[in-house]
Amino acid sequence: MARFSKNSLFSSDIAIDLGTSNTLVYVRGKGVIVSEPSVVAVNDKTNQVVAVGQGAKNMLGKTPPHIRTVRPLSHGVISDFEVTEELLTYLINKAQGGRARLFGPRVVIGVPTGVTNVQSRAVRDAAMNAGAREALILEEPVAGAIGAKLPVHEAVGTMVLDIGGGTTDIAVIALSGSVAAKSSQVAGDRFNENIIDFVRSEFKLGIGERTAEEVKILAGAVTPLSETLSRAVRGRDLATGLPREVLVTDAHVREALAPSLDALMDAMKEVIEATPPELLSDVLERGVTVFGGGALLRGLPQVFAKMLGVPVRVAPDPLTSVVRGAGVVTENPEPYADFFINEEDILSEA
């Protein structure tokens, strides 16, 4: 059972959606106040942090050799502990307005489904080293379901799909627990890779990750649209090595993303097959709620609804569902104690 300290009067309790692509921060009583890319720029000559968040992302692909732009999380878990600690320190200080507090904040952090105890402990330790007095770890699909105001405590099956940057988490939740769950690495970053590979194959043009993300956002659609969406893309001609521009349409994006959507559908079917029949009947009636950045991909709910044969809806403000749900938990953690990844288990694997 998690233990909850009582020093919130002397600090601002904080919820963090620690994402591979973006990190959002919720401050108790204020709402979501920080949304920054999960990127840190480091000077290898001085071993100093040059920029964090949007400032570091603006440097991607544009830095001299001695400055590295690092994404310290890979598929939703820490791949560079020290840089993650720097990122969390920056975010916690920014959330507290840069003011020193008598006590550090209690922090509730969302992590992907199925992370190991070692990975969970790494998140907890990074938060504690960054200044938190207490760090509670919550699975992201649960946090998103809470943020979407779904009945997570009731004896009904609630199915959610959280499509983030590094992972997609799928879960069926009932009676304060995940009954069936799966995490897939097919997510927003994989979509970007699909677009890069397609442009390389179809147009013999090399483009970067930022350009692919822009194409996904501005021209991405997984169902045919009444009006064609397009995006002019500049890159390096693979034959001549010179700059060249091509026009990428929503039809191109649809073709590029098709294999990844099939993989996501297979993962959803696995979760459905592992769900008890009584809860499955609830899912058939209530449908699936989608949140995360991938939920904004045009036509995605309609495609999944057709393939699964159940209603699929996008949560209100899907980009902030996870951090808002974690924020609800900071207001009153006790009713959600069964959802926390057990601290004793984390410490036992240390």
- What end-to-end distance do the CA atoms of the chain give, in Å? 19
pLDDT tops 50 at residue 56:
yes
Return d(Cα 26, Cα 19) in angstroms, integer.
Answer: 14
**Packed helices 209-219 and 188-203: angle between N→C axes, nearest 10 degrees:** 100
- Average pLDDT (162-181) is 94
- What pLDDT sits at residue 97? 75
Return d(Cα 47, Cα 44) in angstroms, integer.
Answer: 5
**Packed helices 188-203 and 250-273: angle between N→C axes, nearest 10 degrees:** 140
Confidence bin at 61 (pLDDT 50/70/90): confident
User: In the CATH scheme, what is the code of domain 153-186+257-315?
Assistant: 3.30.420.40
Two tokens, residue 307: 């393939």
**Packed helices 321-331 and 140-147: angle between N→C axes, nearest 10 degrees:** 80
CB 32 within 8 A of CB 40: no
150, 182, 167: which is closest to 292 by C-alpha? 167
In the sheet that holds 168-174, the strands lie side by side as 177-184, 168-174, 158-163, 288-291, 312-314
The sign one gets for the Cα dihedral 31, 19, 215, 161 is negative
CA–chain centroid gap for 304, Å, is: 20
CB 107 within 8 A of CB 123: no
Confidence bin at 228 (pLDDT 50/70/90): very high
CB 216 within 8 A of CB 231: no
- What pLDDT sits at residue 100? 56
297, 290, 292: which is closest to 213 by C-alpha? 297
Per domain, the residue ranges of the chain are 8-38+74-143+321-348, 153-186+257-315, 188-254
pLDDT in tens, 13-37: 899 998 889 999 999 888 999 899 9
Q: Can you give 102-126 as a three-state secondary structure string?
A: CCCCEEEEEECCCCCHHHHHHHHHH
Q: Which residues contact 334 (CB under 8 A, 6 or more apart)?
A: 4
Name the strand (E) or helix (H) holding 267: helix 250-273
Percent of the chain beyond pLDDT 90? 67
Where is average pLDDT lowest: 101-115, 165-179, 210-224?
Answer: 101-115
Domain 8-38+74-143+321-348, CATH 3.30.420.40 — does that match? yes
- In CATH terms, 188-254 corresponds, of 1.10.1200.10, 2.40.30.10, 3.30.160.270, 3.90.640.10, to 3.90.640.10
Topology alike, domains 8-38+74-143+321-348 and 153-186+257-315: yes
Amino acid found at 221: A
